[in-house]
C-alpha cells in the first residue's frame, strides 16, 4: 500500500512528508493504521545527531547509511491486517506501540525484564525484527523505521512483539502517551528509583518523561518532589502533577534541598533532561544524600564517554547510580496497568497533551518542544 510518512534525511534537517510503500505482513507481523503519534524527544535526537552512529562506524561494520529514517516510536492505532502466526491481536483491535519489543522467550523476558528483550537489539538497523528483510520502501529502496515502529507513518508493518492490545474504549491519544514517555518517567520513579513514602525526590528536567517521574514520585508517597527545569511553564506544570517545590537550576535546588532536609539531601534523584551531558552528573549525584539513588533516564550523546562523578563520595556515602530504559517496566504488564490507573482517575494523562498537530505540522510541533512550549505534542491522523 501507499501512504504518507515523516522521513528524516540527515542531521540538522527538517522532517519531510514523503510517499512510501508498505508491503503486506509476513509471519509474525501485522499492519497497523496509526491514529496518534507522540512527539517524543528521542526522535529529536536524530535531528541533532546525538544518537546517530558516525558514518565511519557504520561503514566499518558493513552497515548501510543511517538515513533516511521514518520517525516515531510512541503511538497507538488499529490493526488492519495480520500475517501468519499472529495470535495476540486481530484486525480491528486497538493497540499501543511498544518501542521495546517483548518476545516472551529470551532470558530477559522470561525473568521479568521485558524492557531488556533481546529482540530490541537491532531496533535502529534496517529490516524487520522477524526476519531482517524490509517491508517499507522509499523511492524503491528499503527504509528503516524508528524502533521498528515508524509511528510518523499512516501505516506500518510491525512485529507482533512490538504492539500490545488495549481496550477499545480508551482514548487513543492517551494510549499513545503510555507507550513511551509516561511509562518511562513513571517507572523511573516508582520502579527503578523505588521511591518510598516520605522520600525527598529531585527530578531534573521536566519534559514528557520528567513530568511523569514527578507524577510517579508523588503517587509513590514522596514527602517532597522537587522539580528542576529552566522553563517557567514546565515548572508550573510540575506543580500540577505533584511537585512540592520547583527550581530553575540544579545550583538553586542544591541550596534549597540542603536547607529543606537539614543537610541530609535527597533519597532519590532522577535525571531526565532533554540531553544528558556528562558534566551534569556532578550536581546530580551531589543532590543525593547518604545511601541515595541516582537514576539516569535521559539520553546522552552516543559518543560521550566521560561523566563528572565524585567516586570517593559514591563509595563513602554508599550511593548508587542506575540506568533505565522504559522505566525498567514490563511493557505487556505495565502499559495496561497504567491505563487502568488512568481509567480510575489516579493517573493524569489527558493533561499531558499540550497541543495536537497534523502530520504536515510535525516541524511546527518539534519547534514548540525546542522552545519549551509543550509538555507533549501529539500527531493526530484523523
109 assigned to active site: no
106 assigned to active site: no
For residue 121, is pLDDT > 90?
Answer: no
Instruction: Please state, in angstroms and rounded to a whole number, the distance separating the CA atoms of residues 142 and 7.
Output: 13
* pLDDT, mean of residues 296-312: 91
Residue 263: the pLDDT is 97
Compute CA 371 distance to the chain's CA centroid, rounded to the nearest angstrom: 19
Classify residue 336: in a domain, yes or no: no
For residue 94, is pLDDT > 90?
Answer: yes
Residue 260: the pLDDT is 97
Same domain membership, residue 101 and residue 245: no
Q: Cα angle vertex 343, ends 323, 184, to 5°?
A: 10
Classify residue 330: in a domain, yes or no: no
* pLDDT, mean of residues 157-181: 96
Cell readout for 291 is: 545511601
8 A C-beta contact, residue 199 and residue 367: no
245 assigned to active site: no
Same domain membership, residue 271 and residue 373: no
For residue 51, is pLDDT > 90?
Answer: no
Same domain membership, residue 193 and residue 140: no
Note down the domain range covering 158: 2-179+349-380
pLDDT tens digits, one per residue of 314-324: 999 999 999 99
* pLDDT, mean of residues 213-226: 98
Residue 55: the pLDDT is 80
CATH at residue 253 = 3.40.50.720
Q: What rounded mean pLDDT belongs to the chain?
A: 95
Residue 301: the pLDDT is 86
* pLDDT, mean of residues 270-294: 96
Classify residue 344: in a domain, yes or no: no
Q: Torsion angle of alpha carbons 227, 231, 235, 240, nearest 10°?
A: -130
8 A C-beta contact, residue 144 and residue 69: yes
Same domain membership, residue 100 and residue 208: no
* pLDDT, mean of residues 205-222: 97
* pLDDT, mean of residues 15-42: 97
Same domain membership, residue 154 and residue 220: no
Same domain membership, residue 132 and residue 29: yes
* pLDDT, mean of residues 284-308: 94
For residue 218, is pLDDT > 90?
Answer: yes
41 assigned to active site: no
Instruction: Please state, in angstroms and rounded to a whole number, the distance separating the CA atoms of residues 183 and 176.
Output: 11
Helix axes 362-370, 41-48, angle to 10 degrees: 90
* pLDDT, mean of residues 257-277: 96
When pLDDT is cut at 50, 70 and 90, the band that residue 56 belongs to is confident
CATH at residue 100 = 3.90.180.10
From 76, 153, 180, 245, active-site residue: 180
When pLDDT is cut at 50, 70 and 90, the band that residue 235 belongs to is very high
Nearest to 300 by CA among 320, 317, 284, 316: 284
DSSP strand pairing (2-8 vs 74-82): unpaired
When pLDDT is cut at 50, 70 and 90, the band that residue 62 belongs to is confident
pTM of the complete model? 0.95
* pLDDT, mean of residues 252-266: 97
Same domain membership, residue 119 and residue 68: yes
Q: Write out the DSSP string of 241-286.
A: TT-SEEESSHHHHHHHHHHHTTT--EEEEEE--SS--TTHHHHHHH
* pLDDT, mean of residues 147-155: 97
Instruction: Please state, in angstroms and rounded to a whole number, the distance separating the CA atoms of residues 67 and 165.
Output: 31
For residue 2, is pLDDT > 80?
Answer: yes
Instruction: Please state, in angstroms and rounded to a whole number, the distance separating the CA atoms of residues 280 and 302.
Output: 16
73 assigned to active site: yes
8 A C-beta contact, residue 164 and residue 96: yes
Measured in degrees and rounded to the nearest 5, phi and psi for residue 44 equal -65, -30
DSSP strand pairing (141-142 vs 224-228): unpaired
Classify residue 136: in a domain, yes or no: yes
Same domain membership, residue 89 and residue 130: yes
pLDDT tens digits, one per residue of 126-144: 899 999 999 999 999 999 9
Same domain membership, residue 165 and residue 63: yes
For residue 247, is pLDDT > 80?
Answer: yes
Q: Which residues contact 219 (CB under 8 A, 6 or more apart)?
A: 186, 190, 242, 346, 347
Q: Which residues contact 155 (CB under 8 A, 6 or more apart)?
A: 1, 3, 22, 31, 32, 33, 34, 80
The full length of the chain comes to 382
Residue 131: the pLDDT is 93
Share of the chain above pLDDT 90, in %: 89
Classify residue 135: in a domain, yes or no: yes
Same domain membership, residue 193 and residue 94: no
Q: How many domains is the chain built from?
A: 2
Q: Which residues contact 61 (CB under 8 A, 6 or more apart)?
A: none
Compute CA 176 distance to the chain's CA centroid, rounded to the nearest angstrom: 11
Amino acid at each position: 500500500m501507499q501512504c504518507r510518512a515523516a522521513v528524516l534525511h540527515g542531521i540538522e534537517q527538517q522532517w519531510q512528508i514523503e510517499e512510501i510503500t508498505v508491503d503486506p505482513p509476513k509471519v509474525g507481523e501485522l499492519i497497523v493504521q496509526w491514529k496518534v503519534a507522540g512527539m517524543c524527544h528521542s526522535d529529536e535526537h536524530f535531528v541533532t545527531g546525538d544518537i546517530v552512529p558516525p558514518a565511519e562506524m557504520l561503514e566499518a561494520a558493513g552497515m548501510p547509511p543511517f538515513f533516511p529514517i521514518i520517525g516515531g516510536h510512541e503511538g497507538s492505532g488499529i490493526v488492519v491486517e495480520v500475517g501468519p502466526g499472529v495470535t495476540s491481536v486481530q484486525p480491528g483491535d486497538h493497540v499501543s506501540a511498544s518501542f521495546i519489543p517483548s518476545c516472551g522467550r529470551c532470558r530477559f523476558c522470561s525473568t521479568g525484564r521485558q524492557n531488556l528483550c533481546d529482540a530490541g537489539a537491532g531496533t535502529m538497523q534496517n529490516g524487520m525484527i522477524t526476519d531482517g528483510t524490509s517491508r517499507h520502501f522509499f523511492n524503491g529502496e528499503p527504509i528503516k523505521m524508528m524502533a521498528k515502529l515508524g509511528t510518523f507513518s499512516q501505516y506500518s508493518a510491525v512485529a507482533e512483539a512490538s504492539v500490545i492490545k488495549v481496550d477499545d474504549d480508551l482514548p487513543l491519544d492517551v494510549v499513545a502517551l503510555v507507550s513511551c514517555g509516561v511509562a518511562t518517567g513513571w517507572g523511573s520513579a516508582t520502579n527503578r528509583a523505588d521511591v518510598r513514602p516520605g522520600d525527598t525526590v529531585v527530578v531534573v528536567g521536566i519534559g514528557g518523561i520528567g513530568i511523569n517521574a514527578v507524577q510517579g514520585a508523588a503517587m509513590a508517597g514522596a514527602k517532597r518532589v522537587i522539580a528542576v527545569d529552566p522553563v517557567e511553564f514546565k515548572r508550573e506544570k510540575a506543580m500540577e502533577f505533584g511537585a512540592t517545590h520547583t527550581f530553575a537550576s540544579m545550583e538553586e535546588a542544591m541550596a534549597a534541598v540542603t536547607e529543606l532536609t537539614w543537610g541530609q539531601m535527597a533519597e532519590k534523584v532522577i535525571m531526565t533532561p532533554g540531553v544528558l551531558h556528562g558534566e551534569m552528573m556532578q550536581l546530580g549525584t551531589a543532590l543525593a544524600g547518604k545511601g541515595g539513588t541516582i537514576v539516569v533516564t535521559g539520553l546522552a550523546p552516543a559518543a560521550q564517554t566521560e561523566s563528572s562523578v565524585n567516586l570517593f563520595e559514591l563509595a563513602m556515602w554508599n550511593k548508587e547510580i542506575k540506568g533505565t530504559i522504559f522505566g525498567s517496566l514490563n511493557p505487556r504488564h505495565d502499559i495496561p496497568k497504567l491505563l487502568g490507573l488512568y481509567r480510575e482517575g489516579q493517573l493524569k494523562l489527558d493533561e499531558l497533551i499540550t497541543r495536537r498537530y497534523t502530520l504536515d505540522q510535525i516541524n511546527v510541533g518539534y519547534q514548540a518542544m525546542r522552545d519549551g512550549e509543550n509538555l507533549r505534542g501529539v500527531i493526530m491522523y484523523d
